[in-house]
Structure 1
Amino acid sequence: MTPSLIIIDDFLSDPHGFRRKALALDYDPLFKGGNYPGLVSTAPLPVTGLDDEASKRAGFALQAAPGTTHQHCRLTLKGDKGASGVHVDPCAYSGILYLSLPQHCRGGTDFFRHRPTGLERIPQTPVELAASGYSDVNRLIDEVVNGDTLKPARWEKTMTVPMRFNRLILFSPWMFHNSAAGFGDRPENGRLVHLMFFAAAPR
């Protein structure tokens, strides 16, 4: 069974060097193409052997999900707002590597329960889907996730994975989640993360 959440501390052998490379990337506002708060780097910052390591941890073969910002970095400062809130990711497995320094770390990644339905994730089987009261998973995503993404009263926070420098979290993208608020007033003290969006690799 695929783990819903994996937490790996001290993931990189040289996190400070990797962080310097992340800060040196270009964060052009014109490159922004999603509903997230903050800015994403225009180029990826590859981690050597990442797909193999994530595959080993998840228990199935993973590769970069096409059409995503896999291995790009995201910088979010205090006051940055996005066009969506609670969401799911369009991939088979997700990952976030925290790169903010210990003295700057705030919040982390929040996970939620949808109050009206009681769901904590998108149903993964026909039986689970039927139990949710929906017969069409796309309708469920449209009404529950997209419809309520910016309605805080519709969501109950169930868990926060705290941000920690050089901590990697891998998790099911179908869990309802959102990043905690951005912080800092410049790249050096802001919320800096390395993003991962994996697809299932062909067998």
Structure 2
Amino acid sequence: MSFAIRMPPDVQSIDLAGQQVLLIDDFLENPHALVQAACDSRFDPCPGAAEGKGYPGIRATAPEAYSQELISLLDPLIRINFQIDESLPLRKTPCMFSLTTMPPSQLGPLQRIPHFDSSAPRYMAALLYLCDGRHGGTGFYRHKATGLQRIGAADTERYAAAVREELARRAPPQRYFDAGDEHFEFLGMVPAKFNRLVVYSGGLIHTACVNPGLSINDDPRAGRLTVNTFVDF
């Protein structure tokens, strides 16, 4: 099965309060082939989900052929747009299908606030939407108490301590986070769009903006289906 990238890619750059996010719409020539691959895959609960941590849903490994196509583009794309030295080797996680399946009533406190993926300086996230705009998008935030929008290695302990204190003072509402609140300033959202790839620093504070009435679904053709990949240099 072919998962070829449409050429040339239409790369767009968005500035979110000084941080760059890349978009590529109409990313794959035949995105429905990848949806079919998801339908044919075995999904399992994400580690930590039962304890109220991590991704609130189920995941399955995406085809290696897609992974190879993605990396062939991501390697030069990220190096050029994020000024990463050519001598640094690229490392990546497996490409994973993800479906949001946890109802808001079951979310743990850490699943009800924004998060970051890694404080490593060149750790990048690549998210392919295989669902449309009715399923929300990806929201980005600034933590008000610390002023941080992107978490680096030197910020991790200070940020974690501030978040622990806020959670201990009052648990967040039992819902998926979207707009800002007293602790997190909303900076903007990249809307979901079928066959849209989004690339951003894993240190950015962000969350999946979810439409609970529609998106809590384990059917790849109807739910909030994405393909998540992380790379580091």
**CA 1:63/1:25 → structure 2, altered by over 3 Å: closer, same or farther?**
farther
**Partner Cα distance (1:45, 1:82) in 2:** 29
| TM-score (norm: length of structure 2) | 0.67
Q: 1:57, CA displacement in angstroms?
A: 1.5
Partner AA of 2:230 in structure 1: F
Q: 1:44, CA displacement in angstroms?
A: 3.5
Partner AA of 1:99 in structure 2: L
1:87 aligns with 2:115: yes
CA RMSD of aligned residues (A): 2.6
Q: Report which of the two has the higher share of helix.
A: 2
**Partner Cα distance (1:195, 1:87) in 2:** 15
Q: 1:64, CA displacement in angstroms?
A: 3.7
Aligned match for 1:97, one of 106, 119, 128:
128
3-state secondary structure, aligned to 1:94: strand
Pairs within 5 Å for 1:7-156: 7-29=23-45, 32-33=47-48, 35-41=54-60, 43-46=61-64, 47=66, 48-59=68-79, 60=84, 63-65=90-92, 68=93, 70-77=94-101, 79=103, 82-83=107-108, 84=110, 85-90=113-118, 92-100=123-131, 102=132, 105-123=134-152, 136-144=154-162, 151=172, 152-156=181-185
**Contact 1:9/1:166 (CA < 8 Å) preserved in 2?**
yes
**Contact 1:87/1:177 (CA < 8 Å) preserved in 2?**
yes
Partner AA of 2:42 in structure 1: D
Give every structure 1 segment of 4 or more consecutive aligned residues whose post-TM-superposition deviation is greater than 4 Å.
144-152
Partner AA of 1:155 in structure 2: F
**Partner Cα distance (2:59, 2:162) in 1:** 26
Q: 1:107, CA displacement in angstroms?
A: 0.8
Alignment partner, residue 132 of structure 1: none
3-state secondary structure, aligned to 1:112: strand
Structure with the larger RCO, 1 or 2 (CA within 8 Å, 6+ apart): 1
Q: 1:27, CA displacement in angstroms?
A: 1.1
**Contact 1:40/1:72 (CA < 8 Å) preserved in 2?**
yes
Gaps of 5+ in 2: 1-18, 173-180
**Contact 1:78/1:190 (CA < 8 Å) preserved in 2?**
no
**CA 1:112/1:57 → structure 2, altered by over 3 Å: closer, same or farther?**
same
Identity of aligned residues (%): 27
**CA 1:147/1:5 → structure 2, altered by over 3 Å: closer, same or farther?**
farther
**Contact 2:103/2:216 (CA < 8 Å) preserved in 1?**
no
The alignment covers a number of residue pairs equal to 180
